[in-house]
Structure 1
Amino acid sequence: MSSATETLCGQAFGARHDHMMGIYLQRSWIVDGAAATILLPLVTFAAPIFRLLGQEEDVAIAAGNMSPWFIPYVYYLVFSLTIQMYLQAQLKNEVVGWFSAISFVLHILLSWIFVNKLELGTAGAMGALTISTWSLVIGLLVYIFGGWCPNTWKGFTKAAFADILPVVKLSISSGFMICLEIWYNSIIILAAGYMKNATTAISAFSICHNILAWEFMLSVGFLGAACVRVANELGRGNAKSAKFAIKIILSTSIVIGVVFWVLCLIFGEEISHFLTSDEEVAETVSSLVVLLAFSILLNSVQPVLTGVAVGAGVQSMVAFVNLGSYYIIGLPAGILLGYVVHLEVQGLWMGLLSGVVVQTLILSYIIWRTDWDEQVNKASERLRRWFLKSEKDSIESSTPA
């Protein structure tokens, strides 16, 4: 849901509606905070939910013991994601990077103290996570409130409660867009658990999925860059620059993707033996190397296209594309190839890949056919409709000449 902040703040920054960025940030806190509170029972009642799903009692008890620790983490996400997108929209990526690095170092240090030295176990690990993550939020809030964002943060205002419904709609479509993608991968991994040799299948699938996730971390950077650049240019009213930014970011991401694609094809089997000592799991991973390589290649395209869509504020369109590509094509194809055609893990991954291929092709076609001048007009209309005068402008307009 926080990607709505990227759209609104990015376009506002491009249009030089700087004071509106702080209002959009506060609206995002209200909407995302309410959503987190509504979903909180899923965390607090983890133990009975796990029992209802048929999990073993020791697993349910462990989930129940850990669930209270996730409550502060849920609210950390509300502030962390929105603040980072607010800062990135105004090209303050370096600030986010430095604070994140400090939080990461603190997390390692606290984990070592709480888990290794004090032997607090899971509670220690979760405590370290809570302290380190909230240190990031507190640091970023100090940066914003301390006067380092003078043009975009004018303080708390009642205006944040105005025009909430459009923000809710954009946030919900953003949430569905992301969730449909995350759930897709999770369901595919879950489906691997019903194979004949489930332990080997899940282990191999998880290894390949982690490799894909590592490469995806680079792609997320291009996703953010695409979102910010497109949103800024649309807000600025420059359709030509938006199209040029898309071409540059997409080309750069594809080049990096090709490099990792080649490396995966060359060293795939060696990587499988490096990551596991189980020969059967290593062989299964090796059998997935070619499919993994093409997944990595697509990983260099799909996030950029999603970032472009977020920058343009068309998350609902991407959500429908994800729904059709993943759940109408990809998931049934994976089940069919894995269980009916008996291709096992390879069949599941083929299905996963087919969904991503369809999604990438559809998004590529939509973006290629997009009238960016029309998108500029839509962004301008959105900004005009939600625009509120700053206190300075209001005072000047009310002062007689």
Structure 2
Amino acid sequence: MEDGGVVQLLLSATHGGVGEQKSPLLTSNGEGGGSWSSDDDIGPINGVVDFGREFLIESKRIWCLAAPAMFSYFCQFGLITITQIFAGHLGTVQLAAISVENSIISGFPFALIYGMASALETYCGQAYGAKQYEMLGIYMQRTWLILNAVALAFLPLFLFATPVLRLLGQAPAVSREAGRFAMWMIPEHFAYAMTYPSTKFLQAQSKVVVLALIAAAALCLHASLTWLLVSTLGWGLVGAAVALDASWWFIAVAQFASVVAGSCGEAWSGLSWRAFHDLWKFVKMSLASAMMMSMETWYVFALTLFAGYLEDAEISIDAFSICINVLGWSGMVATGLNIATSVRVSNELGRGQPGRSRLAAVVSGVSSLLTGLLFTIILVASRKQYPAIFSSNEQVQKVVEELTPLLGISIVFSNVQCTLQGVAIGAGWQVRVAYLSVGCYFLLGVPFGTLMAYKFEMGLKGLWCGMVIGLCMQTGQLLWIICIANWNKECLKARERLKQWSEEISGKETS
């Protein structure tokens, strides 16, 4: 095979087996049922040089989206990190309380809200690629309605957090402090429901710089407020909660102002009654997205719960939360690539460009692997130093140091897995991937983790080994789905999906 044969095989969007010569399903004159021009799709790739050229072009496009998105999520993740750093110096109970509240009480509904909002990446991304701009605002308003209803449904979880945590077997002191903290986190809970729809709306249009600026301003505001309320005024956990509430509502209001300011053109034409139409179909797609995106978060919730049953529960939870925090920081890079990949894949499918859709998946996958390896090398090299940033307790620091090698493996697989999920979201594969996620995390990861933690007395290392197993299986299955995907057919599916959505809205307008 010539040197370009493997590359051509990798990028070709055929709909038969290897060696079959099929005509493209999408052509400039509409043959095969297509309705767009594919003139801008990838041309013939005859060697490594051609592949390298296209790879660099796509890399530039992805990183122009990913870099601001990474910065935004770094800043947003920095909000809870700053809170945990201040809490860690208040005491182990306070740090454990914030960790438990963030992982269990806030974590469960947050994962659902964020996951449901991710359906907008498919809806808005493909609509924007197909130049159906007027649909974007309708989709965002539908998501606002749905997510605020979800947030309201989870309100009792915050109001009765202490008895819920005690029922789950958490330590009395930790449950009491976490319950008090949860009561003050209700405003942040509703801020999520307003923030993430507008985030996805702007991301689909590649308006990522404004999101980065808003997130940076929120981080500065949060650092100042936390220092003032916790350290200077001595409000303790209440001060930390108030600072988080204010920071997240600043983000929500600032992003809404950006949407209505007129910079989005036809994508925002004001509030519309059409947002109330066909909500159930939208809910089903949103729930599928939530299942896919939430499995890893709920998996962490389950492992945090099991960590609380180990000996020295406060030490275990503190060490586990620090490792999860570090994993989250590394995941911000993958999240940025996830967003960029979702935007690129959905936009190109909406335009009817199968080759560029697949190339975006290849470029983002390679990029996430390399960044994960780099982050792991840095982490392992500094494993004796970085735990002190999060806790002054020497026992906690030692446990974190021992977990670092497993943490590094998790970072590599988590980065690749998160980025590949962006491909699935852009293509609209949420339902399929959701079922796989349930199997990988809860039928493999949790049983193996608890078995090693308790039966083989490996403690936190055992729980973390279960996480690695779940991540490995999920990553492998996502990679397989992407490799066997027929991208010409995915373009046709995107066209039919957009046609159906447009007809539904048009039908409601005329009735």
| TM-score for the superposition, normalised by structure 2 | 0.71
Deviation track 1:88-128 (CA, whole Å, cap 9, x = no partner) reads 10000001111111122222223333344444444333333
> Counterpart in 2 of 1:133?
248
Q: Quick one: distance in 1 between partners of 2:505 and 2:303?
A: 49
> How far 1:379 moved relative to its partner?
1.4
Q: CA deviation at 1:70?
A: 2.5
In structure 1, what is the equivalent of residue 258 of structure 2?
143
Aligned CA distance change for structure 1 residues 202 and 111 (closer, same or farther; 3 Å) = closer
Residue in 2 that maps onto 1:349: 464
Q: Against the structure 1 CA distance between its residues 42 and 15, is the aligned structure 2 distance closer, same or farther, given a 3 Å change threshold? A: same
For residues 273 and 83 of structure 1, what CA distance do their matches in structure 2 show? 37
Farther-moved stretch of structure 1 (44-53 vs 291-300): 44-53
Mapped to 1, the partners of 2:351 and 2:288 lie a distance apart of 24
1:249-288 deviations in whole A, cap 9, x for unaligned? Answer: 1112211112123233433344456765555444433333
- How far apart are residue 358 of structure 1 and its match? 0.6
Given that 1:163 and 1:386 are in contact with CA atoms closer than 8 Å, whether structure 2 keeps it comes out as no
Question: Which residue is equivalent to 1:18?
Answer: 133
Task: Provide closer, same or farther for how the CA distance between residues 320 and 225 of structure 1 changes in structure 2, counting only shifts above 3 A.
Answer: same
Partner of 1:82: 197
Question: 1:37-64, CA deviations, whole angstroms, 9 ceiling, x for partnerless residues?
Answer: 2222222333443454455666555455
Q: Is the 8 A contact 1:19 1:390 kept in 2?
A: no
Alignment-derived partner of residue 378 in structure 2: 263
Please list, as runs of the form range in 1=range in 2, the aligned pairs for 1:242-281 lying within 5 A after superposition: 242-272=357-387, 278-281=393-396
Mapped contact 2:169–2:309 kept (Cα < 8 A): no
Tell me if 1:299 matches 2:414.
yes
Quote how far apart the aligned CAs of 1:68 are: 4.2
Aligned letter for 2:308?
G
1:154 is aligned, of 235, 246, 269, to 269
Secondary structure of the corresponding residue to residue 288 of structure 1: helix
Give the equivalent residue in structure 1 for 2:299. Answer: 184
1:334 and 1:378, CA in 2 relative to 1: closer, same or farther beyond 3 A?
A: same
- Which of 474, 487, 507 does residue 372 from structure 1 map onto? 487
For the residue of structure 1 that corresponds to 2:461, the secondary structure is helix
Give, as a single letter, the amino acid of the residue that structure 1 aligns with 2:488: D
More displaced stretch, 57-66 vs 307-316: 57-66
Q: Pick closer, same or farther for the CA change 1:295–1:66 going to 2, 3 Å.
A: closer
Partner of residue 212 from structure 1, selected from 327, 334, 341: 327
Change in 2 beyond 3 A, CA 1:49/1:188: closer
1:2-401 correspondence to structure 2 within 5 Å: 2-53=117-168, 62-63=177-178, 65-272=180-387, 278-387=393-502
**4 and 279 in structure 1: CA distance in 2 versus 1, 3 angstrom threshold:** same
Q: Would the alpha carbon gap of residues 376 and 135 (structure 1) be closer, same or farther in structure 2, given more than 3 Å must change?
A: same
Distance 2:179 2:392 in 1: 33
Q: Deviations over 1:202-228 (max 9, x none)?
A: 343333222222211111111111111
Structure 1 unaligned segments of length 5 or more: list them: 396-401
SS of 2:139's equivalent in the other structure is helix
The farther-off stretch of 107-116 and 169-178 is 107-116
The DSSP-based 3-state class of the residue aligned with 1:245 is: helix
Kept in 2: contact 1:12–1:20 (CA 8 A): yes
Q: Which moved more, 1:102-111 or 1:231-240?
A: 102-111
1:383/1:146 Cα in 2 relative to 1: closer, same or farther (>3 Å)? Answer: same
CA distance 1:81–1:278, change in 2 (3 Å): same
CA contact (8 A) 1:291 1:349 kept: yes
Letter in 2 for 1:350: C
Identify if the C-alpha distance between structure 1 residues 363 and 56 changes in structure 2 by more than 3 Å, giving closer, same or farther.
closer
How far apart are the structure 1 equivalents of 2:359 and 2:439? 29
Distance 1:289 1:59 in 2: 25
- TM-score using structure 1 length: 0.90
Q: Give the counterpart letter for 1:224 in structure 2.
A: I
Letter in 1 for 2:164: I
Change (3 A) 1:68 1:321: same
Take 1:61 and 1:272, find their aligned partners in 2: how far apart are those partners? 26
Contact 1:115-1:125 at 8 Å conserved across structures: yes
Q: Secondary structure at the match of 1:148?
A: coil
Identity of aligned residues (%): 37
Residue in 2 aligned with 1:399? none
CA separation of 1:389 and 1:203: change in aligned 2, threshold 3 A: closer
Code of the aligned partner of 1:242: S
- Distance in structure 1 (CA, Å) of the matches to 2:169 and 2:382: 40
CA distance in 2, matches of 1:65, 1:275: 22
Gaps of 5+ in 2: 1-115
Question: Structure 1: how far apart are the matches of 2:354 and 2:297?
Answer: 31
Say if 1:7 and 1:210 are closer, same or farther in 2 by CA, change over 3 A: same
Given that 1:334 and 1:350 are in contact with CA atoms closer than 8 Å, whether structure 2 keeps it comes out as yes
C-alpha RMSD of the superposition: 2.5
Over residues 181-213 of structure 1, what are the superposed CA-to-partner deviations in whole Å (9 max), with x where a residue is unaligned?
A: 111122223323333444444343333222222
1:292, distance to aligned residue in structure 2 (A): 1.8
**Amino acid aligned to 2:452:** L
**1:398 is matched with which residue?**
none
Cα distance in 2, alignment partners of residues 52 and 197 from structure 1: 19
| Residues 327-358 of structure 1: CA deviation (Å, up to 9, x unaligned) | 11111111222222233332222111011101
User: In 1, Cα distance between the equivalents of 2:204 and 2:213?
Assistant: 17
Alpha-carbon distance between aligned partners in 2 of 1:131 and 1:204, rounded to the nearest angstrom? 28
